[in-house]
Chain A
Amino acid sequence: MTNVLRRSSTPPGVGAEPPTLPEGIDLARLSQRKVLPLRHPAQWVLTIVVLILVVNFGQTLFTNPEWGWSKVGTWLFNPAILAGIRLTIEATLISAVVSFVLGIVVALARLSRNPVLSTLSWLYVWVFRSLPLILVLIFLYNLGNLYPSIGIGIPFGPQFEVKTVAVLSDLTLGVVGLSLAEIAFASEIVRAGILAVDQGQIEASKALGISRRRQFTRIVLPQALRSIVPAYVNQIVGLLKGSSLLFYVSLLDLFGVVQNLGSTYPTDVIPLLVVASIWYLVFTSVISVIQYYIERHYARGSLRVLPPTPLQRVRRFVVGLGRSDTATTAPSDRKVTR
């Protein structure tokens, strides 16, 4: 049968070899057996090479005294370092929340039918997406020279003014600077999320006479968040690292503290950098865990069955070990809908 097909579909002159089987093969017998997966010998060789390199590097962590692990231990929870951590967390957290809320506002302005609002919003994003963060920060730092007092008022009418230096404390300045840039990025992320929601959803809520406000808060935003969350968390990680630039406007964040201590104790530079790295890794890990659960929350309804959380997986594994003799009733296919 296959032979006939093969021959008829081969153009004359190409000279394809007729498919022949070695003599004495019993296809009927082979067809009863499980098909083996393809072998990947090159993958194994590569894995071994990589492992050797990794182990080599790992070894230097212990044999090279310059790492100064004992000093890492003493610096890790040093009060100055902890104060820096506190500032880093404060600045990042406040900016992340402020930027998300205002990012939604800017995104809605951009999407609004009002041409003034959408143009202003576009302009804002254009400016603050273009300027390097450090430039914005130093600009703000010098704002007191540019505008000694700031205020608003009706043109040619009554004015309300305050001293710039009085309003902008160092931390406020830092948070405002970080947020100015962050809002621009957040608004683009939110806008992309809103645009990704199926138009039919908006039509359905219109047809049902649902109010504009509820359309956004109950129908559009929850669905948009599914794509907003991963992108925005990524942005927060960038913000966390961007907060190290606060050092340049004399705010002592984690990086700033390490930088200062490094110039005071020049022999401890490497251990101090290791301490900073460890803490940044910790922060990012915590953020990733939170992200996992938020994403899971907004996946409601879009997956038929939600994947188990890592905790549930561990629990199941342990339970599974306990009753490995009754493996047929393993709870692994139990449905999780919440």
Chain B
Amino acid sequence: MSLAVEIHNATKSYGDRTVLRGIDLTVEQGSVTVILGPSGSGKSTLLRAINHLEKLDEGYVRVGGDLIGVQVAGDRFRELPEKAIRKQRARIGFVFQAFNLFPHLTILENIVEAPISQGVKAGDARATARTLLARVGLSDKESAYPRQLSGGQQQRVAIARALALEPSVILFDEPTSALDPELVGEVLAVIRGLAGSGTTLIVVTHELGFAREVGDRVVFVDDGRIVEQGTPEEVLDRPQQRRTQEFLSSVL
């Protein structure tokens, strides 16, 4: 199995607050990795470091073998110029907790914006966007504005928008946390549909049921460290670490 994502010694602090304390993690191509952890544990920061929305103080991230956001300069890493980072990000999809759709653009315009910025012809971008909208079940909404949609529909559009760049990896940052309970299912169904399609998924979530059903690997993060990782059965049903046990019992 080839590696989609490789993280080594990811270290990050804001001022004197350390968020990541040297995290090592590898993710296999085409797998679904679920990251669990209490709030403030650093799980979102870790996810955001993968597409360089957060800069690491030390350590590196590789996606598909490429170093993300940095290059080797002598015996150090040096940050890449903005333009190069942009190219790398285009291969990594990101879905936000708060959707972050562009409210002044229609659904279709939201999806074609990034491909057009990357040089895809407008006609081709629109055709792809329509296929993706059909895939997330929102073909009839292409000329609506985001605020005219429910939260679940908006998040499905956000997923389609991330897919438009044909990323090899998609990162989900608590994709259902801002949704009403009855809307969670439709978004999880779309994510479930992506699993096994060859795209690597990394999902930060609190949905244990989803982790158990769709996850190939579950990673439990606390206080900037990986406490425990393994298959869903290993981590969720037979957790070895005390911290994991406490967390799981508090969530259930």
Contact = CB atoms under 8 A, between A and B. Distances in A.
Q: Do A and B come from one complex?
A: yes
Interface of A: 198, 200-201, 203-212, 214, 218-219, 222-223, 226, 298, 300-304, 337
Nearest to A302: B103
B148 A304 contact: yes
Of A206, A207, A214, chain B has the most CB atoms within 10 Å of the CB of A207
A301 B165 contact: no
B21 to A, nearest CB: 24
Interface string B73-111: 000000000110011111010101010111111100000
B96 A201 contact: no
Interface stretch (B113-121, B211-219, B227-235): B113-121
Contact of A212 (B82, B100, B165): B82
Given A219-B102, A301-B104, A302-B104, A207 B89 contact: yes
B90 A209 contact: yes
B114 A210 contact: yes
Nearest to A213: B117
Contact of A207 (B53, B104, B147): B53
Nearest to A335: B148
A223 B89 CA distance: 24
Contacts of B102: 201, 204-205, 219, 223
Interface of A is mostly: helix
B105 A208 contact: no
A223 B106 CA distance: 13
A200 B98 contact: yes
Given A210-B117, A302-B104, 11 more contacts: A200-B96, A205-B113, A207-B89, A207-B92, A208-B161, A208-B162, A209-B86, A210-B114, A211-B83, A219-B102, A301-B106
B245 to A, nearest CB: 35
Contacts of A222: 104
A100 to B, nearest CB: 19
Nearest to A204: B100
Contacts of A205: 102, 113
A302 B105 CA distance: 10
A226 to B, nearest CB: 8
A210 B98 contact: no
B172 to A, nearest CB: 12
B104 A300 contact: yes
A209 B145 contact: no
A304 B92 CA distance: 32
Nearest to A214: B117
B45 interface: no
A209 B119 CA distance: 11
Given A200-B96, A302-B147, A209 B117 contact: yes
B104 A223 contact: yes
B117 A211 contact: yes
B51 interface: yes
11 contacts: A198-B100, A200-B98, A204-B94, A207-B53, A207-B94, A210-B86, A211-B117, A298-B104, A300-B145, A302-B104, A337-B148
A297 B102 CA distance: 16
Interface string B139-159: 000000111100000000000
B87 A209 contact: yes
Contact of B145 (A207, A208, A219, A301): A301
A203 B103 contact: no
Given A207-B51, A207-B94, A208-B90, A200 B145 contact: no
